[in-house]
């Protein structure tokens, strides 16, 4: 029998990338169809654990398999400089070397603008030297300095304008990605083909779990695939956790069959891990006013009206609008339609419900 095929770790490619064919097809077609194809400029938004990093990695693999040069970056400070450094050894043009510091003065916003032309030249030369294209992926865009993203996107836009083979795919949390693309002079990024990562259909999850488990030498009792899939709520990180623990419990019991007991205990362990790794850290980052708002939401349902949430707190919607905005910005809640809010993370409502008393003590 093989090792556990599931990968419940951030950024790790799962055994099967479920339900993201649209993104990957569009990107592949973009590579094939040449400059100007929509799949060459894409943005991927999703809450934590929906599979953004995994998709960026898969796009990288697709590009590499066509002989493209790939640069994978995370949008932290010094982004443009790091991209330039990775591009430069590839064409060794001395004149394009950019010196970021003068006598120890660190790089500032003026330097960031000055780096633009070097960046553009380095991209051009990498493409013409290799004879193949260049893909840049950018993760965690919500953390980016606007100046840096602007400089990078202007350089990319210029290279695209020259009909060269370049692709740019960036990913981030839904609300924060909005503020990046709506920033001044970033209209170019606003035109990127948008993908909003949502839950995967439970039937697809069920089918895929069955396939992965069988390929690993285990079997599932009839009906168990559906039960496991239901518990994941179609949320990619939960798919890996549920698959991993159900599989591992059968292994520990020295049985090749995942039955009722393994499924139930696997789901329970997966939920515990999910709370510890996703829900609790998310709650620890926010102030008591936000927790109070969430508790009020939890008492009403998965989706509720903003005026009822405020009413349950004896406030007007205006009085709690900054709290609501903060929760939206953190991607803990979503606004599915006007005047409504819902939980963006699965099991968040259940967690709040179960821990109501202890959370209220801290308010």
Ligand X SMILES: Nc1ncnc2c1ncn2[C@@H]1O[C@H](COP(=O)(O)OP(=O)(O)OP(=O)(O)O)[C@@H](O)[C@H]1O
Which option in ligand X, Mg ion, none does residue 9 bind, with CB closer than 5 to 8 A by kind? Answer: ligand X
Residue 12 interacts, among Mg ion, ligand X, none and using kind-specific CB cut-offs from 5 to 8 Å, with ligand X
User: How many Cβ atoms from other residues are within 10 Å of residue 306's Cβ?
Assistant: 18
Contact present, 126 and 137 (Cβ < 8 Å)? no
User: Taking CB under 5 A as the rule, which mask of x and - marks residues 6-45 in contact with Mg ion?
Assistant: ----------------------------------------
Q: 10 or 363: whose CB is closer to ligand X?
A: 10
β-pairing verdict for 134-139 and 166-172: parallel
Q: Which is nearer to Mg ion, 237 or 247 (CB)?
A: 237
For residue 126, the partner it binds in Mg ion, ligand X, none, with Cβ less than 5 to 8 A by kind, is: none
Using CB under 5 A, pick the residue from 43, 49, 53, 192 that binds Mg ion: 53
Interhelix angle 236-252/202-215, rounded to 10 degrees, is 40
Measured between alpha carbons, how far is residue 306 from residues 309, 314, 351 in Å? 5, 12, 20
The correct pick among 23, 54, 123, 225 for binding ligand X (CB under 6 A) is 54
Nearer to ligand X, 54 or 294 (CB): 54
Can you spell out the DSSP letters for 311-350?
HHTTS-TGGGHHHHHHHHHTTSEE--STTEEEESSTTHHH
Query: Token pair of 289, please?
Result: 């006013």
Which residues, in sequence order, are bridge partners of residue 168?
41, 136
**Could you tell me the smallest distance in angstroms from the CB atom of residue 214 to ligand X?**
17
Shortest distance (Å) from residue 314 CB to Mg ion: 38
Distances (CA, A) of 86 to 131, 220, 267: 17, 47, 43
Q: Do 332 and 323 meet the contact criterion of CB atoms below 8 Å apart?
A: no
* Among 133, 236, 259, 266, interactor with ligand X by CB under 6 A: 236
| Shortest distance in whole angstroms from residue 243 CB to ligand X | 9
**Interacting residues with Mg ion (CB under 5 A):** 52-53
Task: Give the residues lining the site for ligand X (CB under 6 A).
Answer: 7-12, 14, 17-20, 46, 48-54, 236-237, 239-240
């Amino acid at each position: 029998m093989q090792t556990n095929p599931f990968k419940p770790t951030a950024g790790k490619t799962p055994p099967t990338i479920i339900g993201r064919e649209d993104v990957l097809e569009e990107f592949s077609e973009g590579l094939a169809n040449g400059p100007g194809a929509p799949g060459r400029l894409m943005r991927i938004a999703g809450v934590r654990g929906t599979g953004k990093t995994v998709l960026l990695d898969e796009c990288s693999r697709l590009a590499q398999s066509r002989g493209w040069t790939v640069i994978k970056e995370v949008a932290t400070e010094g982004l443009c400089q790091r991209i330039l450094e990775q591009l430069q050894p590839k064409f060794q043009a001395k004149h394009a070397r950019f010196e970021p510091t003068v006598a120890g003065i660190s790089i500032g916003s003026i330097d960031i603008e000055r780096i633009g032309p070097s960046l553009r030249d380095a991209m051009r030369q990498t493409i013409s030297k290799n004879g193949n294209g260049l893909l840049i992926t950018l993760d965690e865009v919500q953390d980016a300095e606007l100046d840096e993203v602007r400089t990078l996107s202007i350089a990319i836009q210029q290279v695209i304008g020259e009909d060269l083979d370049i692709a740019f795919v960036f990913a981030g949390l839904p609300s924060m990605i909005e503020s990046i693309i709506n920033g001044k002079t970033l209209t170019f990024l606003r035109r990127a083909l948008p993908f909003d990562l949502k839950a995967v259909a439970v039937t697809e999850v069920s089918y895929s779990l069955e396939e992965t488990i069988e390929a690993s030498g285990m079997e599932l009792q009839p009906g168990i695939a559906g039960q496991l899939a239901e518990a994941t709520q179609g949320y990619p990180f939960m798919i890996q956790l549920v698959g991993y623990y159900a599989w591992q419990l059968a292994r520990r019991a020295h049985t090749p069959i995942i039955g009722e007991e393994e499924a139930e205990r696997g789901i329970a362990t997966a939920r515990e891990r999910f709370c510890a790794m996703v829900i609790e850290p998310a709650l620890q980052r926010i102030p008591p006013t936000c927790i109070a708002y969430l508790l009020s939401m939890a008492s009403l349902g998965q989706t509720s009206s903003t005026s009822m949430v405020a009413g349950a707190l004896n406030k007007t919607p205006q009085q709690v609008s900054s709290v609501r905005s903060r929760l939206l910005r953190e991607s803990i809640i979503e606004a599915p339609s006007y005047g409504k809010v819902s939980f963006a993370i699965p099991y968040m409502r259940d967690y709040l419900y179960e821990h109501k008393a202890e959370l209220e003590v801290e308010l």
